[in-house]
């Protein structure tokens, strides 16, 4: 009689394990779950990015520790590589008092306990003695840890400035565009 009872117990355990696994949201290998602009995942990760930006903006070490994994590696737009501890040290010292960061999540892909967030950022900071507004895109890789998400990797890329978006020289001409033969300020005008 002990053998049938053992088989029954093993069968019950296996059946309940299969039922639990079937109910768990899982992503098939090689497949991702992408989110759209209004999805709850976008909102959740935007809150994390807002916490990150806020911690940088007010030099809050504790809040930054909650967002960054101990394994965190950052690759800046200029190619500098820093760790979590180096990021925390920069926040503590507050060398750049003008630093201000804004981040906007555009997409989130869920891969089980890993999430990849892509978005845009604007960072106002000091380079040498001048102030710079750096605009770019980011990729942040998050790991689910103790019921929350922490960033394990960050990569930023600066967007090239479009030459057409640069300010054009103002003209003293009567016309809204420059016609060399008809404008007052033409260099080819002959003085009599």
Q: What is the mean pLDDT of each run of 10 residues along the chain (192 residues)?
A: 59 55 46 65 96 93 96 94 95 80 96 96 80 91 95 95 60 50 52 52
Provide the 10 A C-beta neighbour count for residue 125: 14
Residue 94 confidence (pLDDT): 73
Query: What is the CATH number that goes with domain 31-160?
Result: 3.10.450.50
The model's pTM? 0.65
How much is the pLDDT for 125?
Answer: 72
Longest Cα–Cα distance of the chain, Å, equals 123
Residue 10 carries which DSSP code? Answer: H
Where do the H-state alpha helices sit in 118-173? none
Interval 78-112: pLDDT, tens: 999 999 999 999 888 877 777 889 999 999 999 99
Residue ranges of domains in the chain = 31-160
Q: Copy the structure tokens of residue 155.
A: 């990569």
């Amino acid at each position: 009689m002990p053998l049938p009872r053992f088989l029954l117990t093993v069968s019950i355990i296996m059946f309940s394990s299969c039922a639990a696994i079937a109910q768990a949201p899982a992503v098939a290998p090689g497949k991702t779950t992408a989110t759209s602009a209004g999805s709850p995942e976008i909102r959740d990760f935007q809150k994390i990015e807002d916490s990150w930006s806020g911690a940088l903006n007010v030099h809050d070490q504790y809040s930054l520790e909650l967002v960054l994994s101990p394994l965190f590696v950052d690759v800046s737009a200029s190619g500098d590589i820093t760790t979590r501890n180096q990021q925390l040290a920069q926040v503590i010292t507050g060398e750049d008092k003008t630093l201000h960061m804004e981040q906007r999540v555009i997409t989130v892909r869920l891969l089980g306990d890993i999430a990849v967030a892509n978005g845009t950022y604007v960072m106002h900071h000091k380079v040498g003695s001048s102030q710079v507004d750096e605009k770019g895109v980011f990729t942040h890789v998050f790991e689910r840890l103790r019921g929350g998400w922490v960033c394990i990797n960050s990569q930023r890329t600066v967007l090239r400035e479009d030459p057409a978006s640069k300010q054009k020289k103002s003209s003293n001409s009567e016309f809204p565009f420059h016609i060399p033969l008809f404008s007052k300020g033409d260099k080819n005008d002959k003085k009599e």
